[in-house]
Structures are given as structure tokens and as C-alpha cells.
Structure 1
Amino acid sequence: MIDRMIKFKSIQSLDRIAITLIGVLTIAIAILLFQGDRSVPHVRSFTWQDKQIGVEHDRFVITFTRPMDRASVEENLKINPPLPGKFSWAGRRLVYTLISPAPYGMEYQLSLEKATDKYSNSGKAGAILQPFSAKFRTRDRGFAYIGVEGQNSGELMLVNLSANEPKPIALTPPDLVVSDFKLYPQGDRILFLANDRNSQRQGALQAKIYEVTTGIRTNPPDPQTASQETAGKLKLVLDNKDYQILKFDLSPDGETIVMQLVSRRNPGEFGIWTLQPNSAPKPLPGKPGGDFLITPDSKALAVTQGEGLAIVPLTGSQDQPLDFLPKYGSILAFSRNGLAAATVKFNQDFTRSLFLVNTQGTEKELQRINGSILDAEFDPTGEILYCLLTQLVPGDQYQEQPYVVAINLKTGETKKLLEFSSNQRQVRMNLSPDGIALLFDQPLITPQPAAGMSDAVRTDDNAAIVTSKLWLLPISSINTTETSTTSNPEELPITGVRPVWLP
């Protein structure tokens, strides 16, 4: 009985203690609710903090610890140098979308001060955001090209313009002569087609596909694998034992190689093959094909078939094309978002027409010329198309004069940016990923190589390249009105061909 009484009294004591604690906590909670949240709002995360962005990174996200007064945040958010953009919100998350890509080779400072939270009056203690600042940068500005003179003739070269000393470096060994190359999406590696120098001297088609590291290292906001090797690490991707490799393309995601191969045993057996990591090459059924180009989503291929262009999937069944454009003879480029393409139509009057074709079925003729349409590239916004065209030079001798134009795809206005000397049809151009500069070469060719030039770099027409200047044309503020000014091209202290900007 005594033990029961002791236990009962103990329970009563615990009840009193619990009730007292509940009362104290209730009062404390009431006081906090009455006074409001006195914690200082701050930035929880910024997706670009200490990261390196490329043209594919067109928006960042800032997450706050508390709902914010949106107007105060938008008014006080500063980016130096400025990057114009648009604001959108989702709860505590601010999304800032760039109007145009951030120029490469730059470092940016983002700061946010004096912004207030959503539920407090401006100036009240605890309502002002804790000051926030962060840095981020864009990728290095640089380009690759094929050397044409001296000890670097035929070698794949790289220039990092953002380096302390932007000097060309050779990525490939002297015993290889590079004929074409494609860059992987991070710029850390380059896929290239090359012949060994002895075979090049003998005129034999012994090209193989290789991969080489550039030494470029990126730190993107989204997790992506990239090579951490130094520049010049070589790897054989595909040999030429059974097939001759005529041309190739690399998908934008860097996962698929598309090649045009010819059987060594049976030259009548040729076609398009695909190669993916850790797998053997596979033929694309029923697609002997001519020119081809991989779509921006890396899932399909645009390939010429007879009198038209077929869009076929790279994986799965290829029995039926995804789309067929019957009147176009070739495709030059896709817009970055894949919603539009620049195509060429060969007219019955021997003229050529440049067409803009989009996914809504609209087909718009942009140019009709009596020369050739050599190349076209969309700017990153998809609003301007830069075209490399030729015009026939009057006279008894057939000559084509290349020139570059910018076409405003909204208004249709066209502006000539540059004109080359006559009979330089081998010119190549390449638009920087941020859309602010054009690179182009100016090769001097000879049909009959001189002594000592048997291993020279050659054009697609197999003419030997004696030398070639490289030029840069700034187009950062260009528009297509006739009254706007255009910068003069700058000759670079480099000789080479086929310059391509790092992605």
C-alpha cells in the first residue's frame, strides 16, 4: 500500500512539472508569434556561385530562406559587368534568364543588398536581407585550327585567348596530318580525322579517327564529366582496317559519332554508320546518304536522300523518317533550340535559294543567288543568320567571289559584312558561341603542289594549301540596318585553316 502511494505521488509530481513546462512553452510561443520572426533573411543558394558557365547556361536561380518582397530584390540585384535579363519567381526561388549569352572570357560579380522580406515593412529590424555577393565566370575564349606552314603543318593547334600568354600550342604529333575535327561540348577534347604523314605523301586514303585532350578545364553549374588530362593526350577511336572514313560528325552531347564509310573489300558498299561509347560501329539501315548533320537534341540525323532531306532517328527503327523535305538539296545548320534550320534549294534556272524552315512547317526563302551557298550559322538567340555566299564575277573566266551577310530572321533585312577577293571559294567561317565574333580563314591553294608539299594540308577538292591567313571580325553590336557600322576584320598573327571556336 505504501509503495502504491509513493508511485501515485511521483506521477502527480511529473504531471505538475509537465503542465508547468507546457505553460511556459505556450507563453514563449505566444510572445514569438506576437513579436514576429526576428531572424535575418538571407540567400540560401545561388546556382552559379564560383562556377564557369557556357552558352547553354542561360539562367540562374537564387533561393532565399524566406519569401521576399520581389520588387525590392529586382531593384537591388546587381551584376557587374551587366548581364541584361528577365525575372521570374516560384515561391522563394528567383529565376533570372539572360536575354543574350554572357560573353566568354569574363569574370562577373553578383551582389544583392537592401532587399526586404515579403511580410515586413521596409526598415523594420530583421526585414532587410543579409548582404550577399558571389562571383562566377564564363568559359575561356579560344579556338582550334589546322596549321599549314612550317613544323606545325597538318597539326591540330589550339589558342586560348584567355590565357596569360595566348600562344598557339600543338595538340597532335608531327606524324599525323589532320583533315577535319569536331569539339566535344565541354571543350576538353577534340575528335579529329587524320592521315599518317607517309600515307599523305603517297596520296593513300588511310585516315583514322582520333581523340585528343585540350587541357581546357571547366567547372559548370550542372554536373558533367570532363577530361582532367593535360593537353595532347591522344587516343585512337576508329581505325581504317575494313573501311575508309570519308567524313564524320559529332553529336552536340558528345555521345554519338556519325560517319560515312566505304568498304575496302567492296567499294560499292558504302553508307552511314554510328559509333557510341563502349560499343562497336553500327550501320544506319538503308541510308547510303550524302551530306548529313546531327540535330541539336542529338537524337536524329538530317541526311540528303535523292531529291530531298530526310530526318531519321539515330536509335530505334529507321524504317520511316521523322520528317522529309522533298525540295531541298542540303542542310547547312540548325538553330540552337532545334526549332529552325537553314537549307539550300537548287533551282531549275541554275540559281540557289537559301530557305529558313521551322518545326511549324513554315518555309521562307531568304536569298536567291546565282553563286554558291557555302555555309550558314544561327546566332545564339536564333534571330540572326550569318551566311557565307559567293557571287559570280563578270568575265570570260568562271570565278566566284565569297562574301558574308547577316540576315535578320524577323524582318528579313540583309546586310553585307565582308567581301573577299575573287576565286577564294575555300573560305571557312565560324561564329563564336557567345555570338560576338566571326573567325574565318583565307587559304591560298595550288592544284599542283610544289616539291616538298606532298604532305600539305588539302582542301575538300584535294588542292594543296600553300598558306592561309586567319581573321577575326567583331560583331558584338551588329544589326542589319544599312546605317549601322561594322568593325573591320583583324588579321591574326597565325597561319592556319578551318578555325573553330571552343564551345
Structure 2
Amino acid sequence: MWKSLQPIDKIALTLILILSLVIGGVVLGGQACGTNCVFGMKPRVREFSWHNKAVGAEDKAFILDFDRPMDRESVEKNLVIDPLLPGKISWAGRRLAYTLDAPVPYGEAYQVKLKNAREHFRGKKEAGQEIQPFIGQFRSRDRAFAYIGTLGHERGRLILYNLTQNKKAILTPRDLVVVDFKFYPEGDRILFSAAQRHRGNDTLRNLQLYRVSTQIPENVSERSQSVELILDNKDYQNNQFDLSSDGKTIVVGRVNRKNPADFDLWVLKKGNKPERLNAPGGEFLIAPDGQTLAVAQGQGIGIIPLQSDAQAIEFLPKFGKVLSFSRDGSAAAMVNFNMDNAKLRYTRSLFYVNNQGVQKELLNIKGSILDCQFDPTATHLFCLLTQLIEGEEYREEPYLVKIDIKTSQVIPLVALPDYRDMKISLAPDGLGILFDRIVTANSNHSADPLITSSGETIRESRLWLLIPPPADAPGGAEPKLEELPIGGFRPQWLP
């Protein structure tokens, strides 16, 4: 019979026989390894969402996707993150989500390990096979910051310092004097205001907005590093600016050069020309939603949409300044100058204000509330305050504190000798505070001065790093304070 078959029939029969033997072997192998075995293969992690990625403070959870249902208890018991990152586990079918309690500390490499966990199918009383051992890797962003240099050829230039790699890069050319800057959300670019160096003492009236990349290859020289002009100053003088948390919107305070009484806020969105908001006011901040703006207007704070001629959607007459928002935008730190309260006049009050209508006073001082920033969990505020010293001369002594929002407890961190235009920056992981110590010059006749917001010439400035005690530290633990060997001011952490 075999001899009577055509060659093509012989090939087909041979293939059928081979496939039948393979299928039979797989079935027998599956039975031998247990009723829960899937084609004789061990369960495995099919996907790890953070594998080989660099994550930042905005990354709150990772996902493990398994190729079959798992015994959840065995997975949770055997999941290891090294170094430890406290968090909570939740499930959706075969997907495990691990949500961090706090942002991942920067400048670290991590491993996620899982072994000894078992599969488990519905209707089966016992767990099945052990998982194929899994090791996933990820890292956090480098611990880095930017600042404006004050020494030598760095004077007035924007500089990026990578603490993790111990590397420094000058980002802007010599012919620009930088006054202020903001990071884009990914930390890959910086928006900054600057004037041509030859403007000398007239810097503040000749600011333009520029953008520069922080991703500088090692073979790129200072000369070849280019910047992009975002907004010129031909018809309007540019003053304060802010960048939305998504990096898509810029708001700038502008004054008409021909008519100084014409002052307004302008909005600049990607791909569009600058548009007047018709919402004049004082200091302002873009809310984290990127759609609204908090601006000082008369005797209060107006919350207005970022569109032309829009009316304020809320007005807070009690407050005169917004210091900062929590990361999710649900709360803000605001200052009441107590102008309408005779008993509290000449004092300042710090308030916690949230979107549920809570307005909680955290402290009242005779002095100034210069800056406050929320920690990543929005449970504490780190604040730069001053104490008014009365005597022959009134003077203010600055100090840094940590404030528990729930209890209003004020925890002193460090006293400082001076605060001329001092700026603080809290690390995105909440583990360090950068600030500057500026010394101003008696004369402002420098050919290319660096100037404070009040117009004083900066002679020199040093950067300092404060590491607060960890949350679980015993009572009385002291913060660590270190002067960095860096001449600069206005430090800002990489997001």
C-alpha cells in the first residue's frame, strides 16, 4: 500500500505522524507535571513595565503581567525589591500593580525578584507549578540639579551638575546672562530668561525667553551648544514667567515698551503665537492641572482659566500670595498678610488650602514667609521663614523648618545668617533641599552684573545642601548641612 502512494501523499502522512507524536508527548508531559500544567511549561512573568527604564517622581507604580493565573498569596510573599521600596499590592486578573508609598529615591539601581511563587487555576484547591525565576531591573533618574554660575567664565551661565555621575556641563553661551529658569517635566530641557551680556546693568529690562537641551553628548563643545529663542522682547518687556507641569504652556508677565501702563499676562502654547490673557495682576503660578492660573489681584488671589478674557472661576480674598501647589494640585500653601486684622497686623500667617474648602492656619509669625514647598506625599511643608529681630535696627534672620500639615507641628531644621534673594529647592524624592547664600556688592557698575530680583548686584554666592532627618528617625535627630564647592545661585533639582 505504501508503495502505491504518490510522493506527495507519503510526505503528508509522514508529517501527520511526526506531529501526532509531538502532540502526544506534550500531553503526556503535561499530565506528568500536574493537572494545572500548561503544556508542560512553568508560569512566568510576561512583562515588567519598568524593565530597564529610568523612572522619576511622577512614576508611582509598576506592573507585573503573568502568563496565567497565579496564587496571589505566594506571589506577594516572595516578591522582593532590592533596595527596598515600601508600597502596596493590588491585582487585576493576571496583572499585579505595586504602588509606591513615596517617590523612588534618585540615583539608585533596583532589582525586582520573584521565585517560589505558584500558579493557581480557578476550581483547583491546590497551587500548581512554581514560577520560572524572574529578575527585572530599573533605575531612578540621576540626582542632578541646575544653577546659575557666579565664578569666572561660568558667571551668568546656566550649569547642570550631575551628583550621581559627578559631572558638570555648561548649557548656555558666554554672551547670555541668565536670570531665571524652569525645568521641563522630563528634565530633558530647560526654559530660561536671559539678556545679552553687553546690556550690563539693564539686564532686567531686556530679558528674552530661551530653551536649551540638558542632553548634551560628551563630544559637544561649549561653542556648539545652541539655544532656541522662544519669546523676544522687541515690543514688550518680559518679566516673571512660569511653565506648566506638562511643559505645554508658558505664562509671562509683559509690559508694553511704548506704554508702560499697559501690563498684562500673556500665554504661550506650543505651536501658537503669544496671546494676551487680559488678566493683569501680580505674582502668579500655573496650577498643576495646566489649565488654570493663581494670580495675585488686588486684595486676594484669583483662580483664572488659561484663555483670553476668561473670568475668574474663584477668588480668595483672604490671601495675598500663593507659595506652591501639591504635586496633584489638590492643595496649596498660601500667605495671609493680616492687613485687615488689627490684632495680627505686622504678622504673617501660613495657610494650607485644599480643593475641599479647607483653609487651615499652620503658623503665624512676626517675620516673613519667603517660600514653602510640599513634600512628595503632601503631608509636610518645607518652609523658608524669617524671624524679626527688634532693636536699634530691625533685621530678619532666616531659618528653615518642616511643618506637619495634619498636626501643625513646626520642626526647626537650621538657622541661617542671611537671606538676600535666597531660593530653596526640594528634591523630587523629598530627600534633600538645595539653597543659595548670596553676597551682594556695594556697587552695581559691573559690566555684566548678575542681579537679584530687587536689582542688587550679586558679587558671589555658594550652594548648600540640607538633608532632613528621615521620617522614621528618632526624636531629636539632626539634619545634615553641607556647603557644596560650587559658586552659583537659584539652584533647582532635576524633576
State the TM-score, normalized to the length of structure 1: 0.87
Q: Which amino acid aligns with 2:394?
A: Y
Separation in 2 of the partners of 1:203 and 1:426?
17
2:487 equivalent in structure 1: 495
Indicate if the aligned counterparts of 2:413 and 2:468 stay in contact, CA closer than 8 A.
no
Separation in 1 of the partners of 2:259 and 2:271?
27
2:373 to 365, 371, 377: 377
C-alpha deviations, 1:253-273, integer Å up to 9, x for none? 001110000011211111000
Separation in 2 of the partners of 1:98 and 1:462?
44
Indicate if the aligned counterparts of 1:114 and 1:129 stay in contact, CA closer than 8 A.
yes
1:102 to 104, 122, 146: 104
Q: 1:204 to 1:49 in 2, by over 3 A?
A: closer
Separation in 2 of the partners of 1:189 and 1:32?
54
RMSD: 2.7
Indicate if the aligned counterparts of 1:213 and 1:231 stay in contact, CA closer than 8 A.
no
Indicate if the aligned counterparts of 1:146 and 1:498 stay in contact, CA closer than 8 A.
yes
Indicate if the aligned counterparts of 1:193 and 1:208 stay in contact, CA closer than 8 A.
yes
Pair 1:328-2:319 in alignment: yes
2:294 equivalent in structure 1: 302
Separation in 2 of the partners of 1:444 and 1:55?
33
1:174 equivalent in structure 2: 174
1:49 equivalent in structure 2: 51
Q: Which amino acid aligns with 1:233?
A: S
1:445 equivalent in structure 2: 440
1:192 equivalent in structure 2: 192
Q: 1:79 to 1:435 in 2, by over 3 A?
A: same
Pair 1:402-2:419 in alignment: no
Q: Which amino acid aligns with 2:464?
A: W
How far does residue 488 in structure 1 lie from its aligned partner after superposition? 2.8
C-alpha deviations, 1:85-107, integer Å up to 9, x for none? 10001110101000111110111
Pair 1:342-2:333 in alignment: yes
Q: Which amino acid aligns with 1:335?
A: S
Separation in 1 of the partners of 2:213 and 2:29?
63
Question: Pairwise mapping of residues 72-471 of structure 1 onto structure 2 (< 5 A)?
Answer: 72-119=74-121, 127-163=129-165, 166-201=166-201, 205-215=205-215, 232-285=225-278, 287-315=279-307, 318-348=309-339, 349-421=345-417, 423-449=418-444, 453-471=446-464
| Worse overlay, 258-267 or 208-217 | 208-217
Task: Look up the SS of the partner of 2:390 in the other structure.
Answer: coil
How far does residue 313 in structure 1 lie from its aligned partner after superposition? 1.2
How far does residue 145 in structure 1 lie from its aligned partner after superposition? 0.4
Indicate if the aligned counterparts of 2:469 and 2:479 stay in contact, CA closer than 8 A.
no
C-alpha deviations, 1:387-429, integer Å up to 9, x for none? 00111123211211111100011222110101111x4342211
Indicate if the aligned counterparts of 1:187 and 1:216 stay in contact, CA closer than 8 A.
no
Q: 1:113 to 1:158 in 2, by over 3 A?
A: same
How far does residue 149 in structure 1 lie from its aligned partner after superposition? 2.0
Task: Look up the SS of the partner of 1:151 in the other structure.
Answer: helix
Separation in 2 of the partners of 1:204 and 1:295?
26
1:474 equivalent in structure 2: 467
C-alpha deviations, 1:453-478, integer Å up to 9, x for none? 24221111101111111110112514
Gaps of 5+ in 2: 1-22, 218-222, 340-344
Q: Which amino acid aligns with 1:439?
A: L
Indicate if the aligned counterparts of 1:142 and 1:160 stay in contact, CA closer than 8 A.
yes
How far does residue 309 in structure 1 lie from its aligned partner after superposition? 0.7
Indicate if the aligned counterparts of 2:372 and 2:382 stay in contact, CA closer than 8 A.
yes
Q: Which amino acid aligns with 1:280?
A: K
Task: Look up the SS of the partner of 1:187 in the other structure.
Answer: coil
1:222 equivalent in structure 2: none
Gaps of 5+ in 1: 1-24, 218-229
Separation in 2 of the partners of 1:145 and 1:51?
27
| Worse overlay, 317-326 or 183-192 | 317-326
1:486 equivalent in structure 2: 478
| Worse overlay, 55-64 or 395-404 | 395-404
Q: 1:231 to 1:324 in 2, by over 3 A?
A: farther
Q: 1:418 to 1:298 in 2, by over 3 A?
A: same
State the TM-score, normalized to the length of structure 2: 0.88
Separation in 2 of the partners of 1:411 and 1:213?
42
How many residues align structurally? 462
Q: 1:264 to 1:192 in 2, by over 3 A?
A: same
Indicate if the aligned counterparts of 2:295 and 2:302 stay in contact, CA closer than 8 A.
yes
1:64 equivalent in structure 2: 66
Indicate if the aligned counterparts of 1:247 and 1:259 stay in contact, CA closer than 8 A.
yes
Separation in 2 of the partners of 1:130 and 1:470?
50
Separation in 2 of the partners of 1:203 and 1:94?
55
Q: Which amino acid aligns with 2:115?
A: E
